[in-house]
Copies of this chain bind each other. A is one copy, B any other.
């Protein structure tokens, strides 16, 4: 069992905000992340799949194909987007925290990778260079 990872990147705006709360409550819980006018990040996404290298090609999965799937399923939707407003697979009202975002990205990729002889193993999503989330589907 070998694990192979491809890194892709996207830039996006978001804010953390609960509609049922007052501005003060939002400020208290989310601090500067509750700025009504949004802020944004350069996200780096690591997608790790696992499997046995093919005896002829030596590939667990062709990383070029993996890159195309990540871009079609994830990056094309998220890059230069507003995570609260623009992305079909992010439910309206859900906080676009790194934690929630990584679960939704997993679901996108899990579906797209069905039928391949390898498995989605884990994701790592950097929001800044001092914060990242990881998710393994369970």
A residues near B (Cβ < 8 Å) are 1-9, 11-14, 16, 18, 29-33, 35, 37-42, 48, 53, 56-60, 62-64, 79-82, 85-86, 94-100, 102-103, 128-136, 138
Contact = CB atoms under 8 A, between A and B. Distances in A.
Q: Output the residue of A3, A99, A131 with the most chain B CB within 10 A.
A: A99
A32 B40 CA distance: 15
- The A interface, classified by DSSP as helix, strand, loop or mixed, is mixed
A40 B81 CA distance: 8
A105 B79 CA distance: 26
A4 B42 contact: no
A38 B95 CA distance: 17
A37 to B, nearest CB: 4
